[in-house]
Structure 1
Amino acid sequence: MNYLYEYSDILNTPYEAFVFDTHKGDFPIRPHFHHYVEMIYMVRGSMFASLNEKEYYLNEGQMLLFFSDSLHSMSASSVKKAVFMGIKFDVARLTVNSGLTPRIQTLLNAARGQNARVFFNEDECRDYGFEDIFADCVKELSQKEIGYDIAVHAKLCLLMTRLIRIWQREGLDFSNISDYVSRDELTIQNILEYIDIHLDENLKVEELAKRCNMSYPHFARTFKDLYGRSCKEHLEMLRVERAEEMLRFTNLSLNDVSTELGYSDQSHFIRAFKKLKGVTPGSIRL
């Protein structure tokens, strides 16, 4: 089975920065999620990006943010090549020795919980110097001169600080937030990998809560606070994304796909697919 979780060696590689050419790299980039925060900046051309079932059209000079553990993919908008710079990082590493400001990870989680916008246009990217920050991170991580990790850390802190200030000016509330990350939150983040591996089973939210040693109401509330959707909605989204991949790249029948993904019957699968994708699964192969 083609799993959606992409392994991240966060311990040994907390930062990544790269330039991607859609005519040279493995493209399109299929739906996946990982524990990194990821950001992309379009250098040339255009492309489509999907984030948790929402579609974005990116042109040169625009930027898109993918929160950690969010399902995302990228695909071509035309036969012309596109080039973008990407940054992946473990936001927990972006710490400063100051008691005056909450951790960036805490602020980012608060922004995510308030549905902060993740798309930034050409004017914003130019005014806030996002292209230069991306380019500097790519250069530092490719050359790896002495102190490169310090330089990248500083650039990423600057980048996230500018985003947080944009969100605050747009009305997001960062007051009265705690720097404390509960064990329950860390446990739920880890259960995402279990869900991906066992997606072909008839997973129940109640059983996932027990696996996390939580009551069902507490698990459900914490999951929604973290990811902005219920665990049931998350399961449905992952199944539909994997179903679309199977329909596009295998010869399995609709019934086989629905069975493979743990649906009790094909009609339930068709309804769920159409609700999220706006089309029936059969139309994918037409």
Structure 2
Amino acid sequence: MHPIQNELNSLRLTLLNTAYAKLGKEWNYDNVISPFTRMYYITKGSATVHHSNQTFLLKPGHMYLIPSYSYSRYSCPDYHEQFYISFLEEIANGLSIYNLKNFRYEIEATEIDQYYFERLLTLNPKRGLTHGDPKVYDNRPTLMGFVKENESLPARKYIETQSILGILLSRFIENGKQHVAPIKKGLANVLSYIGENLHRNLTVKELSVFCHLSTDHFSRIFKETFGVRPNAYLQAKRVERAQLLLLTTNNSLAQIASKTGMSTVSYFSRTFKKVTGKTPGNFRKERLTV
């Protein structure tokens, strides 16, 4: 069996929330980094989501995916309605499915897709969020409360719920094969840890401690696995998030430096120019005047 298929055999999807929501201008949140996957099916109106260095205009008849640990921003200029699902995804060795397969983040929905969203809500009728602010429901103790609700489901409903989550998630998988190097022991959760803590001044030493490895050993196997040294990966991810913030917020350079784990504006500007060839100010000006 292909190694990736072998990993997928252990994929587990755990429902957190599902509901139908009518949302207005209050649906406006910045700096959202959730430890779970979000999925939307839009039925009316429009809104905007920024993540993965892209901007998505949410429109009726389409489905949207936001992977776990993705930095994202949401805004609704007027009004929209959506089915929403949030769920945890995990593989036996601690990997994420997003490490194994390439995904699209927007697809046109079909009638059967809408049926699955409606069916999931029928199976789990009281799983809506009681508070819309991600800072409230993203914390881990609250998440564990959502997870425990699955234990009260009858076996038939539990199995059907897992099947529907798998079907809907599969709709976003790209057809092309992804060549993934085997994940070395100890590295399974490090990319998620980086994504969740990118606003902090992460160091290679901290990452190696997180992985229970020596610094030298961690750096070597990180390079072997992901094709880049840890510091270079951190730098690239910080600049990627900075680009999104420059184009989708009015944040000052100091605010963006803070949100991307770069301690000073001068260091942020220097790093940004090294990677992109432009200063943050010029990058913002050029892109927003195109």
- TM-score under structure 2 length normalisation: 0.62
TM-superposed CA distance for 1:65, in Å, is: 1.2
What is the distance in 2 between the residues matched to 1:19 and 1:134?
A: 9
Q: Helix, strand or coil: the match of 2:35? A: coil
**5+ residue gaps in structure 1?**
1-12, 96-102
Whether the 8 Å contact between 2:20 and 2:82 is mirrored in structure 1 is yes
What is the distance in 2 between the residues matched to 1:256 and 1:106?
A: 30
What is the distance in 2 between the residues matched to 1:275 and 1:264?
A: 10
Letter of the structure 2 residue corresponding to residue 263 of structure 1: T
TM-superposed CA distance for 1:120, in Å, is: 0.3
TM-superposed CA distance for 1:60, in Å, is: 0.3
What is the distance in 2 between the residues matched to 1:61 and 1:277?
A: 37
What is the distance in 2 between the residues matched to 1:181 and 1:89?
A: 26
TM-superposed CA distance for 1:84, in Å, is: 1.3
Whether the 8 Å contact between 1:188 and 1:223 is mirrored in structure 2 is no
User: Match of 2:125?
Assistant: 142
Deviations 1:188-224 (A, max 9, x none): 423444444xx2x4x44x4444334343243255457
Letter of the structure 1 residue corresponding to residue 120 of structure 2: C
Q: Does 1:110 align with 2:100?
A: yes
CA spacing shift, 1:85–1:270, aligned 2, 3 Å: same
User: Match of 2:23?
Assistant: 22
TM-superposed CA distance for 1:87, in Å, is: 1.1
User: Match of 1:155?
Assistant: 164
User: Match of 1:279?
Assistant: 284
TM-superposed CA distance for 1:61, in Å, is: 0.6
User: Match of 1:42?
Assistant: 42
User: Match of 1:173?
Assistant: 177
User: Match of 2:70?
Assistant: 70
C-alpha root-mean-square deviation of aligned residues, in Å?
4.2
TM-superposed CA distance for 1:244, in Å, is: 8.4
What is the distance in 1 between the residues matched to 2:243 and 2:263?
A: 11
TM-superposed CA distance for 1:45, in Å, is: 0.9
What is the distance in 2 between the residues matched to 1:259 and 1:146?
A: 43
User: Match of 1:268?
Assistant: 270
CA spacing shift, 1:55–1:221, aligned 2, 3 Å: farther
Q: Helix, strand or coil: the match of 1:230? A: helix
Q: Does 1:85 align with 2:98?
A: no
Letter of the structure 1 residue corresponding to residue 222 of structure 2: F
Query: Size of the alignment, in residue pairs?
Result: 233
Whether the 8 Å contact between 1:220 and 1:231 is mirrored in structure 2 is no
CA spacing shift, 1:207–1:16, aligned 2, 3 Å: same
Letter of the structure 2 residue corresponding to residue 136 of structure 1: R
Whether the 8 Å contact between 1:223 and 1:231 is mirrored in structure 2 is no
Q: Which of structures 1 and 2 has the larger relative contact order (alpha carbons within 8 angstroms, sep 6+)?
A: 2
TM-superposed CA distance for 1:86, in Å, is: 1.4
- TM-score under structure 1 length normalisation: 0.63
Whether the 8 Å contact between 1:263 and 1:269 is mirrored in structure 2 is no
What is the distance in 2 between the residues matched to 1:276 and 1:131?
A: 43
TM-superposed CA distance for 1:42, in Å, is: 0.7
Deviations 1:141-199 (A, max 9, x none): 225885243331121122234444xx33xxx1269997x88431224423444444xx2
Aligned residue runs from structure 1 range 87-236, under 5 A: 87-92=85-90, 108-112=98-102, 116-121=103-108, 125-126=109-110, 129-143=112-126, 146-147=153-154, 148-164=157-173, 167-168=174-175, 172-173=176-177, 182-196=185-199, 199=200, 201=201, 203-204=202-203, 206-211=204-209, 212=211, 213=213, 214-220=217-223, 222=225, 230-236=233-239
What is the distance in 2 between the residues matched to 1:139 and 1:187?
A: 36
